[in-house]
């Protein structure tokens, strides 16, 4: 019979039932493929309708089409983690023929698949992650509902060996990641962070970007700023007692009158910074450690630095006028062109330091340099 195809699949079945005098429930194409969407029908297609029995090609000896061609279109039900999915064998086999699912259902009972009391094949996996995989095998599109973790779907795709889907998921996961935010942390954000942290808890700020932030007059004691970007920051009058500023970038920052008792600034970069009137002295005897620091051109005028460790630090062109450097370790320090006038250098260790062009006028105590001083 010639039947006009229009409307929905239900309309087609209704017309076919009337024309053929049967109660049509299913439509197949000429190769035995089940039609479940009217848009799959093409011009001049020869269709077969039935009342529910399996497709049998009239041109064969009555054997099921799948036995002749190897095409598996019979329906089956999967019980995945307690949730039921109904699909066709061809859906599980054709899209990814080398996958685990394809091998499980390519040949009937080849794997001895276990079935529950309803005859559904048991698969002990997560149903919410399995659903996107099944839909991908049906129509080749990755569609994941809101709230489903893509990483979970990716792990299921790897487990079942759906290779073509793995690449799609990896791209989707990469695109879903928020862009890295390298913008500096503001004073308001950091103060909120400080207030939410218990006083006795160690606050770790390694590698964070505070560039240009106003952190003046804040209590920053014991905070770990190792390798942080504090360039051009305002840290005037801040309490940095025992803070860790190892390898931090403090270039161009203002630390005037800051409390730096026991601070750790090993190999930090404070070139061009202002540290006027800072206090590095700790009454308990804990010494500030600036070993290997880059302090080129810094202004440390009037700072209290008794016992400070500036070994092999670079202080070229620095202003150290009227500083208290009593007992300081300056061995191997580059003091070229430094202004050390008015400094107290009593008991300071200047062995191997470079004092070329340095100014020592009006020192509070006589300077006794060994021959190793350059």
For residues 150 and 252, membership in a common domain is answered with no
pTM to 2 decimal places: 0.51
pLDDT in tens, 150-191: 999 999 999 999 998 998 898 888 887 765 556 788 899 888
User: Rounded distance, CA 260 to CA 262, Å?
Assistant: 6
User: Rounded distance, CA 30 to CA 316, Å?
Assistant: 89
Q: Could you give the 3-state DSSP secondary structure of residue 334?
A: strand
Number of independent structural domains in the chain? 3
For residues 172 and 218, membership in a common domain is answered with no
pLDDT for the residue 299: 96
pLDDT for the residue 324: 94
For residues 224 and 243, membership in a common domain is answered with yes
Inform me whether the pLDDT recorded for 262 exceeds 60: yes
pLDDT in tens, 303-328: 999 999 999 999 999 999 999 999 99
pLDDT for the residue 109: 59
State the average pLDDT over residues 39-66: 66
User: Rounded distance, CA 53 to CA 28, Å?
Assistant: 11
Q: Is residue 69 part of a domain?
A: no
For residues 130 and 40, membership in a common domain is answered with no
Inform me whether the pLDDT recorded for 138 exceeds 50: yes
State the average pLDDT over residues 207-226: 93
pLDDT in tens, 6-35: 778 888 888 888 888 888 888 887 777 777
Where do we find the tokens 């003046």? 216
Inform me whether the pLDDT recorded for 66 exceeds 60: no
Inform me whether the pLDDT recorded for 71 exceeds 90: no
Q: Is residue 68 part of a domain?
A: no
Quote the tokens at residue 68.
């002749």
User: Rounded distance, CA 218 to CA 194, Å?
Assistant: 10
Percent of the chain with pLDDT over 90: 48
Where do we find the tokens 């300071």? 348
Q: Is residue 234 part of a domain?
A: yes
Q: Provide the residue range defining the domain that includes 23.
A: 1-63
From residue 187, alpha-carbon distances to 123, 174, 183 in Å are 54, 32, 13
Inform me whether the pLDDT recorded for 369 exceeds 60: no
- What's the CATH code of the domain at 13? 3.10.20
pLDDT for the residue 362: 56
Write the CB contacts of 337 (distance below 8 Å, at least 6 apart in sequence).
316, 317, 356, 357, 358
Inform me whether the pLDDT recorded for 301 exceeds 50: yes
For residues 48 and 172, membership in a common domain is answered with no
């Amino acid at each position: 019979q010639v039947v006009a195809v229009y409307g929905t699949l239900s309309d087609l079945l209704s017309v076919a039932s009337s024309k053929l005098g049967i109660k049509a429930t299913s439509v197949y194409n000429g190769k035995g493929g089940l039609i479940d969407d009217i848009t799959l029908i093409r011009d001049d297609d020869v269709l077969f309708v039935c009342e529910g029995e399996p497709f049998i090609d009239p041109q064969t000896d009555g054997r099921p089409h799948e036995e002749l061609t190897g095409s598996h279109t019979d329906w089956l039900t999967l019980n995945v983690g307690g949730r039921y999915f109904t699909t066709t064998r061809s859906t599980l086999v054709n899209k990814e023929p080398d996958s685990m699912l394809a091998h499980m259902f390519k040949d009937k009972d080849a794997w001895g698949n276990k079935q529950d009391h309803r005859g559904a094949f048991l698969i002990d996996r997560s149903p919410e992650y399995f659903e996107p995989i099944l839909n991908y095998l049906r129509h080749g599109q990755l569609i994941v509902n809101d709230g489903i973790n893509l990483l979970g779907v990716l792990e299921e795709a790897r487990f079942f060996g759906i290779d073509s889907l793995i690449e799609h998921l990896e791209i989707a996961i990469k695109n879903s990641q928020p862009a890295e935010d390298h913008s500096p942390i503001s004073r308001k954000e950091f103060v909120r962070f400080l207030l939410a942290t218990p006083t006795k808890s160690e606050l770790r700020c390694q590698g964070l970007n505070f560039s240009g932030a106003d952190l003046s007059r804040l209590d920053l004691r014991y905070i770990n700023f190792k390798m942080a970007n504090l360039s051009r920051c305002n840290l005037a009058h801040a309490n940095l007692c025992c803070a860790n500023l190892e390898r931090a970038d403090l270039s161009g920052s203002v630390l005037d009158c800051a409390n730096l008792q026991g601070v750790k600034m090993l190999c930090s970069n404070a070139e061009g910074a202002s540290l006027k009137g800072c206090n590095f002295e700790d009454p308990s005897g804990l010494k500030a450690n600036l070993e290997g620091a880059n302090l080129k051109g810094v202004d440390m005028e009037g700072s209290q630095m008794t016992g400070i460790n500036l070994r092999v630090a670079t202080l070229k062109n620095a202003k150290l006028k009227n500083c208290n450097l009593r007992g300081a370790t300056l061995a191997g320090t580059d003091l070229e062109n430094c202004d050390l006038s008015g400094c107290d250098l009593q008991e300071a260790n200047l062995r191997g330091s470079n004092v070329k062009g340095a100014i020592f006028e009006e020192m509070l105590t006589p300077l006794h340099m060994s021959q190793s001083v350059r």
